[in-house]
Amino acid sequence: MSREADRQHIEKVLSGDKNAFRYFITHYQEMATRIAFSMVQDEVQAKHIVQSAYIQAFKSLPRFKQEAKFSTWFYRIVVNESIKVNRKSKLEQQTVPISASHSISLQTQNGALNTLELTEKRKQINQVLTSMKPKERLMLELYYLQEKSTQEIKMITGFSLSNIIVLLLRARKNFAAIFQTSNP
């Protein structure tokens, strides 16, 4: 989404047009849900987190300085809300597979056999991701699947650059170890 379009809609909302906020819901909901899901591994909770984040963003919009992109500011709210939910519920995380829209799309070349192999690989990757710690899962999601730079991840999560690098290294190492263990 363009920064200019975001600014125009922010101005509309701040001048009293509450319906203009729908623009942000339309444009940022999918990614926000992915981020929340990668942290909590529960679709229903992820949707509640995003809803709560939108309410918080709407209330805080007058204080948004527009130095960063709206998306970065909003995704940081989503990450903070997700962290709060994880702190509150130390329950066992349910295994919920990441949908095809979260996976790296690969072209199938040889029909049904390749489709079956691809489905199996996605299932294995999803199983590994769901067994990882939330912060590591988030780093892999943002860096590899959403192709965010470390600077963008810093702005979204509020983590320091060194923390992001360490988390990415640890996440890659843990992912590889878990993947190799589960696929001898």
HEC secondary structure over the chain: CCHHHHHHHHHHHHCCCHHHHHHHHHHHHHHHHHHHHHHHCCHHHHHHHHHHHHHHHHHHHHHCCCCCCHHHHHHHHHHHHHHHHHHHCCCCCCCCCCCHHHCCCCCCCCCHHHHHHHHHHHHHHHHHHHCCCHHHHHHHHHHHHCCCCHHHHHHHHCCCHHHHHHHHHHHHHHHHHHHHHHCC
pTM for this one?
A: 0.64
What's the mean pLDDT when you consider all of the chain? 81
Mean pLDDT of 14-33: 91
pLDDT digits (tens, 9 = 90+) for 165-180: 999 999 889 888 888 8
pLDDT, tens only, 36-80: 998 888 889 999 999 999 999 999 999 888 888 898 899 999 999
Looking at residue 184, its pLDDT comes to 62
